[in-house]
Amino acid sequence: MASAASQQQSKLPPAWQPKRRQLLLMLMMQATAAYFPTDLLDSRSHGQPPFESFLTSAIKELEGLASSTPKLHALLSRAVSDPVTLASEIRSSPLAALASLFGNPTAVANSSYPIAVAHGMGDSCFNPGMKSITKFAGTALNTYSVCLPTADNLIMDTIKGFLHTMDASVDDFAKRVRADPKLANGFNAFGLSQGNNIIRGYIAKYNDPPVRSFLSICGINAGVAAFPHCSPKTPVVGIVCEVLTEVLGDLAYNPLVQSILFQANYFRDPTKTNSTPYLRHSELAKWNGETGEDMSAHKANWAKTQRFVWVMGTEDTMVWPREGEHWAAPTDKYPKDLSALPMKQTRWYTEDTFGLRTAEEAGKNFFETFKGEHIRFTEAELQQWLVKHFV
């Protein structure tokens, strides 16, 4: 009689059998690298216990998490045993931001810079929608365009939009940028939904080769204070919402949770922004300069980009508050006051923590809106933004 593990593995297509161990190692290494200081992992040079002991500790941490977060633990197990089904469930999640199918542009302009594109959660560069929107942008400006995934295939690219951190995704993006000779002299870039977090992170951490103009469409750059589409009122919740509901409470800024979930990285609970766990472990807090760390290198990289375009959907119910797409944030009176604090009143602007105010004073920030839901802009609107800001 076949074991449970072999029965699970038999669900995978033949081509995916070798990738099972690869995915397990990716998840383990990702959690270990984030949870333990880098210098501790080089055991032989420091005379410390072997690396295997740290990996064992990380695995025990994941096992220990199972009692308080059984849904997350089960999801991680399924990512190894049945990634095909898990990727399908992520794509069908209420939080999935799938690009619409685009046709051909009505006119053609000319840009001297190529275009790089980043997809949203649940989507993939290998999906028809992202392929079509990438082709549309390149055709509209008569230039090279490419969608940069975080993995080499549809399944992994989809899963890593959920079980991969913002920082790790930025590193993946940078590797692909630098491997593409057509992007070597700089490029324009636009993202959909959380794809903008990746481009924003690349600009702050690398920006070499530089992003000339950045078009952020429904970007979650300022984070979210809630996930409205995971409300109990939503007819079909699914595994993604179940996991986020389970961990985005007291465990939101647990270092292990932060080392696993992309969405936990940009979750910004207004009631905890002054708490030690948030300031110590939140990736978004570090990116936004809320921790007091030296941001001079990030500011220097931010200054290399000539234009930032922040696009908000006026009927967006996916990002809360939607004004965060224009760098607004909840007030310190939340939850009694659900209004949004305008960008110029936020701490990251007034203290210029990562370069946003400097960009504004230099005339580099531009703000656009469209009437519609999350990333549900029209072909005409996208073409207008591309011509206006990329040419």
Q: How far is CA 225 from CA 202, 248, 266, 280, 284, in A?
A: 23, 10, 9, 18, 12
Beta strands across the sheet bearing 187-192: 145-147, 115-118, 187-192, 211-217, 307-313, 365-370
Please work out, in degrees rounded to the nearest 5, the angle formed at the alpha carbon of residue 40 by the alpha carbons of 35 and 44.
145
Better pLDDT: 188 or 228: 188
Q: What is the pLDDT of residues 71-114, one digit of tens each?
A: 888 888 888 788 999 999 999 998 899 999 999 998 889 999 99
Please say if the pLDDT value at position 3 is more than 50: no
- pLDDT grade for 15, boundaries at 50, 70 and 90: very low
**Predicted pLDDT of residue 68:** 79
**Predicted pLDDT of residue 198:** 98
**Predicted pLDDT of residue 239:** 83
Closest residue by Cα to residue 93 from 68, 70, 119, 120: 120
User: End-to-end distance of the chain based on CA atoms, in angstroms?
Assistant: 64
Q: What is the pLDDT of residues 143-174, one digit of tens each?
A: 999 999 999 999 999 999 998 999 999 999 99
Please say if the pLDDT value at position 2 is more than 60: no
16 with 155: CB under 8 angstroms?
yes
Please say if the pLDDT value at position 353 is more than 50: yes
Instruction: Give the domains, in start order, of the chain with CATH numbers.
Output: 56-390 (3.40.50.1820)
**Predicted pLDDT of residue 44:** 34
Q: Determine whether 245 is exposed, middle or buried from the number of CB atoms within 10 Å of its CB (0-12, 13-18, 19+).
A: middle
**If residue 88 lies in a helix (H) or strand (E), which one and from where to where?**
helix 83-91
Q: What is the pLDDT of residues 283-304, one digit of tens each?
A: 999 999 999 999 999 999 999 9
Burial 139-153 (b: 16+ CB within 10 A, else e): bbbebebbbbbbbee
**Predicted pLDDT of residue 336:** 86
Name which of 156-160, 228-232, 257-261 the model is least confident about.
228-232
- What is the reported pTM? 0.85
- Distance, in Å, from the CA atom of 325 to the CA atom of 146, rounded to the nearest integer, reads 24
- The chain-wide mean pLDDT, for the chain, equals 85
**Predicted pLDDT of residue 233:** 58
Structure tokens at 241: 């919402």
**Predicted pLDDT of residue 78:** 83
158 with 84: CB under 8 angstroms?
no
Better pLDDT: 313 or 65: 313
Name which of 208-217, 225-234, 341-350 the model is least confident about.
225-234
Structure tokens at 56: 């064992």
Please say if the pLDDT value at position 31 is more than 70: no
In residues, how long is the chain? Answer: 391
Better pLDDT: 18 or 320: 320
- Distance, in Å, from the CA atom of 243 to the CA atom of 266, rounded to the nearest integer, reads 15
- Nearest-Å Rg of the Cα atoms of the chain is 21
Specify the residue for token string 């929107």.
133
